[in-house]
Amino acid sequence: MQTRRKFIKISSIGIGATAFAGGMAKWVIGANSPKNVSIGPNSLATLKPVPTYCEVCFWKCAGWSYVDEKGDILKIVGNENDPHCDGRLCPRGTGGIGMYYDEDRLKTPLIREKKSDGTQYFREATWEEALNKVANKMKEVKEKYGPEAFGLFNHGNPGAHFEHLLRAYGSQTNAEPAFANCRGPRTAAYYSTFGADVGSPECTDIRDTQCLVLIGSHIGENMHNSQVQEMSAAIDNKATIITVDPRFSTAAGHSTFWLPIKPSTDIALIMAWIHVLIYDNLYNKEFVEKSTFGFDHIKEHVKTMTPEWAYGITDIEPDVIRKTARAMAGAAPAVVIHPGRHVVWYGDDTQRERAMAILSALLGAWGKRGSIYIPEAVSIPEYPQPEYPETKWNWKDLNEGKFPLATMGVTTELLKASIPRLNYKHQVKAWLVAGTNLPLSMPDKKLFKEAAEAVEFIAVMDTMPMEVTGYADVVFPEATYLERYDFLRSAQNRVPNIALRMPAAKPKYDSKPGWWIGKQIGERLGLHDYYNYNDFSEVIDWQLKKLGSSLEEMEKIGIKSFPRKSGPQYIADGEDYKFNTNTGKVELYSVDFADEGFDPMPVYTPHPEPPQNFYRLIYGRAPMHTFSRTSNNPNLWDLMKENSVWVNPKVADLWGLKNGQKVWLKNQDEAITSFPVSVRVTERIRWDSVYMVHGFGHSDKKLTRAYGMGASDEEMITNIAVDPIMGGTGMRGNFITFLKENPASKMKEDKA
């Protein structure tokens, strides 16, 4: 039995137990007497609540920052009236204060300088210098190439402030990893099927569902707060939960059925489910007849796609396929086929999402209680400003005719357009980057590096010295979300609502809010008419008053709900509901896809399999972290310091790998991880795959806690399966093998 809790706590109870969030430094008997019982519990102190909404992830839960008399932020608690969190923040939201206190934060503006011997370094600069430098470069690019040549990589609120700046300046050349590297295929698929996206937070009615189907979605490991809460409610309600995953995920552990599918074969399983629904007469006839287009096509299409056919492809037994299809039909229409979120896997991802949408349609699981509800968001009045100038070209033109159904910029195309040797018709010469750490959030590091080295100028805004700042000419230290005003949150939900974020403390160091940085650059470019205010609170107050509220009111309540204007959240029985598609109906046969020359109905295609001694790399989330952005947060680092590579015990035996052993990973293209990663021997992963949590293996030493902790899955993702429909970057076709010796020392030996 362990008598002391160490870095990883091994419990005294239970077999094969692994514990998280343990940790102790040194036993300090007598070292610190007399006792210094200094700090009491925080809820006994006199604290002032200040409204905010979280920026640790994209769920943006509303909460209260609690501030003491000295002005220190002591804790953050969820807002009870917020449907995103129901008063309960997730570990990242609760630990969000670590973002504010992190001593590794960017502290002053930085400007890249060159010594006479050619070495480059960052010099601390004044805001005046840094802002002037960026504004001057923007003027220069505009004169030389036109404003469109200034591109933007953006995410979240910081990105939105720069998007406004670039639109006012004359560029719509922007892209965010959230589309082509994440949820883009889902948007294209659901639009083409139902004429509506599922949005964010996804309008899944999990709370009232009788059957939740998760295809690779790992709710509970992704802490999409209200969904985690609703899945918990579904467990209480005894809903059937069906999880399809090659890994025994947390959700799989809580499921009625776990289908341990062979990776990359999901489309075959879904088509077999569709086959069973149609040929066993289990589909929702009323909905199909009244509201869908192309039933005869799909019926003919899946004729031979039987459970027996799928068994040979997916490893899922025909009996299980039938049983789960019947469970769905029995619960219909109260079924949530969860559309997932990070869905760029194999390059045919839009088609897989289409298959899921078709499955939903056959169950009538749309617009009904317990399926997908019809969401509504508050439309925020636009603060007075001139129209944005017309652009000669925009992100769409970078696709040069490819990816017809892309609804947002494709990051990889923006990178390619930045490389002159690739001869794009429209070339990108400079970047702004805000709120996204491209080297750890995008696959194909080589492409990123070539593009970053090719462009004339890069300015980055972040709160932390993320890897992307290392490529910048100018770095802006942004204030954290706890220190700034931002746009009002207006996200879709069952009940439309808005949430306020306001500063709970003055920005630490010499950091500044994103809105201020954008405005300062805008003023220098003569764009004052787009920034007709002194403080962003004036914009918010103006908007709130138009909505019948005010800043004063919102400071007290943080979140405000409004009555729905678009009608009820469910479609009534017998209602003549018109879908926003070509045919006005739910398209089982996609007219759009047929017009663009894509398969109008999903087809299963086999994908490459791992060669001998290689294993498919599957990656995902841990509940305590948001990608690479939280790895250095002191509170969250304390919960999880590094990732591990999950290896099935059979594979571990074959390789002689032990739990906790450090290995380097090498992929099919000879890429090797910069840092070693611990092996976790576990039955929770298939023998043909390994699993890693994404976002670790930071290489910037300025991140003193996160540097070198764990390995970066992105380094192993060099093979990208591009989705021809919307430009998605399928990342699950990469295979790794283990290096038990440090490859760096091997290289030295070779040289000697």
* Residues 502, 485 contacting (CB under 8 angstroms): yes
**Between 65 and 718, whose beta carbon lies closer to another protein?**
65
What tokens does 683 get?
């039955």
Does residue 605 belong to the site contacting another protein (CB under 8 A)? no
**Between 468 and 618, whose beta carbon lies closer to another protein?**
618
Does residue 641 belong to the site contacting another protein (CB under 8 A)? no
Q: Which of 51, 83, 91, 558 binds another protein (CB under 8 A)?
A: 91
Q: How far is Cα 463 from Cα 513, in angstroms, rounded to an integer?
A: 10
Task: Return the closest-CA partner of residue 518 out of 9, 242, 179, 159.
Answer: 159
**Between 195 and 318, whose beta carbon lies closer to another protein?**
318
Q: How far is Cα 522 from Cα 134, in angstroms, rounded to an integer?
A: 10
Does residue 17 belong to the site contacting another protein (CB under 8 A)? yes
Does residue 20 belong to the site contacting another protein (CB under 8 A)? yes
Does residue 35 belong to the site contacting another protein (CB under 8 A)? yes
Alpha-helical runs (H) found in 97-210 = 97-101, 127-145, 156-169, 177-178, 184-194
Burial 331-347 (b: 16+ CB within 10 A, else e): bbbbbbbbbbbbbbbbb
User: Among 3-11, 405-413, 477-485, 491-499, which window interacts with another protein (CB under 8 A)?
Assistant: 3-11
Does residue 248 belong to the site contacting another protein (CB under 8 A)? yes
Smallest distance from another protein to CB 253, Å? 3
Helix or strand holding residue 226 (H, E): helix 225-236
Does residue 5 belong to the site contacting another protein (CB under 8 A)? yes
Task: Return the closest-CA partner of residue 339 out of 172, 190, 552.
Answer: 190
**Between 379 and 704, whose beta carbon lies closer to another protein?**
704
Q: Which of 173, 193, 204, 250 binds another protein (CB under 8 A)?
A: 250
User: Among 49-57, 84-92, 443-451, 488-496, which window interacts with another protein (CB under 8 A)?
Assistant: 84-92
Q: How far is Cα 602 from Cα 351, in angstroms, rounded to an integer?
A: 5
Each residue 376-405 as x (binds another protein by CB under 8 A) or -, in order, gives ------------------------------
Any idea what DSSP says for residue 58? T
Neighbour count for residue 308 (Cβ, 10 Å): 12
* Residues 477, 511 contacting (CB under 8 angstroms): yes
Smallest distance from another protein to CB 207, Å? 12
Does residue 36 belong to the site contacting another protein (CB under 8 A)? yes
Q: Which of 160, 175, 215, 252 binds another protein (CB under 8 A)?
A: 252
* Residues 214-233 contacting another protein, CB under 8 A: 220-221, 223, 225, 228-229, 231-232
* Residues 493-522 contacting another protein, CB under 8 A: none
What tokens does 521 get?
């650059």
* Residues 44-73 contacting another protein, CB under 8 A: 44
**Between 27 and 289, whose beta carbon lies closer to another protein?**
27
Does residue 30 belong to the site contacting another protein (CB under 8 A)? yes
Q: How far is Cα 60 from Cα 96, in angstroms, rounded to an integer?
A: 12
Q: How far is Cα 138 from Cα 237, in angstroms, rounded to an integer?
A: 57
* Residues 661-720 contacting another protein, CB under 8 A: 682-687
What tokens does 748 get?
């030295």
Task: Return the closest-CA partner of residue 693 out of 676, 710, 672, 707.
Answer: 710
DSSP secondary structure string, 141-162?
Answer: HHHHH-GGGEEEEE-HHHHHHH
**Between 584 and 660, whose beta carbon lies closer to another protein?**
660
Does residue 21 belong to the site contacting another protein (CB under 8 A)? yes
> Cis peptide before 333, with omega less than 30 degrees from 0?
yes
Q: Which of 90, 188, 269, 405 binds another protein (CB under 8 A)?
A: 90
The angle formed by the CA atoms of residues 255, 256 and 262, to the nearest 5 degrees, is: 70
* Residues 452, 191 contacting (CB under 8 angstroms): no
**Between 34 and 606, whose beta carbon lies closer to another protein?**
34
**Between 258 and 345, whose beta carbon lies closer to another protein?**
258
User: Among 111-119, 143-151, 247-255, 330-338, which window interacts with another protein (CB under 8 A)?
Assistant: 247-255
> Cis peptide before 743, with omega less than 30 degrees from 0?
no
**Between 37 and 752, whose beta carbon lies closer to another protein?**
37
**Between 228 and 451, whose beta carbon lies closer to another protein?**
228
User: Among 40-48, 398-406, 552-560, 722-730, which window interacts with another protein (CB under 8 A)?
Assistant: 40-48
Does residue 752 belong to the site contacting another protein (CB under 8 A)? no
Residue with tokens 């929770």: 684
User: Among 35-43, 447-455, 534-542, 596-604, which window interacts with another protein (CB under 8 A)?
Assistant: 35-43
Smallest distance from another protein to CB 265, Å? 15
Smallest distance from another protein to CB 139, Å? 46
First-to-final CA distance of the chain:
47
Total residues contacting another protein by CB under 8 A comes to 84
Does residue 84 belong to the site contacting another protein (CB under 8 A)? no
Smallest distance from another protein to CB 241, Å? 11
What tokens does 624 get?
């305590």
Smallest distance from another protein to CB 44, Å? 5
Smallest distance from another protein to CB 623, Å? 4
Burial 258-287 (b: 16+ CB within 10 A, else e): bbbbbbbbbbbbbbbbbbbbbeeebbbeeb
Q: What is the torsional sign of CA 109, 114, 115, 116?
A: negative
Each residue 159-198 as x (binds another protein by CB under 8 A) or -, in order, gives ----------------------------------------
User: Among 75-83, 380-388, 474-482, 535-543, which window interacts with another protein (CB under 8 A)?
Assistant: 75-83
Smallest distance from another protein to CB 321, Å? 15
* Residues 513, 481 contacting (CB under 8 angstroms): no
**Between 23 and 312, whose beta carbon lies closer to another protein?**
23
Residue 562 identity (one-letter amino acid): F
Crossing angle of helices 514-524/156-169, nearest 10°? 10
Q: Which of 57, 95, 170, 272 binds another protein (CB under 8 A)?
A: 95
Does residue 9 belong to the site contacting another protein (CB under 8 A)? yes
* Residues 732, 617 contacting (CB under 8 angstroms): yes
* Residues 111, 129 contacting (CB under 8 angstroms): yes
CA 517 to each of CA 460, 479, 501: distance values in angstroms, whole numbers, following the listed order: 11, 10, 17
Task: Return the closest-CA partner of residue 712 out of 478, 348, 466.
Answer: 466
Does residue 260 belong to the site contacting another protein (CB under 8 A)? yes
**Between 404 and 623, whose beta carbon lies closer to another protein?**
623
**Between 239 and 419, whose beta carbon lies closer to another protein?**
239
> Cis peptide before 201, with omega less than 30 degrees from 0?
yes
Does residue 258 belong to the site contacting another protein (CB under 8 A)? yes
Smallest distance from another protein to CB 189, Å? 28
Q: Which of 545, 634, 655, 722 binds another protein (CB under 8 A)?
A: 634
SS3 state of residue 576: coil
Does residue 39 belong to the site contacting another protein (CB under 8 A)? yes
Alpha-helical runs (H) found in 170-224 = 177-178, 184-194
User: Among 21-29, 477-485, 669-677, 712-720, which window interacts with another protein (CB under 8 A)?
Assistant: 21-29
**Between 231 and 329, whose beta carbon lies closer to another protein?**
231
Task: Return the closest-CA partner of residue 103 out of 635, 655, 513, 567.
Answer: 635
Q: Quote the distance between the C-alpha of residue 611 and its chain's center.
A: 30
Phi, psi (5° rounding) for residue 249? -70, 170
Smallest distance from another protein to CB 325, Å? 19
Does residue 596 belong to the site contacting another protein (CB under 8 A)? no
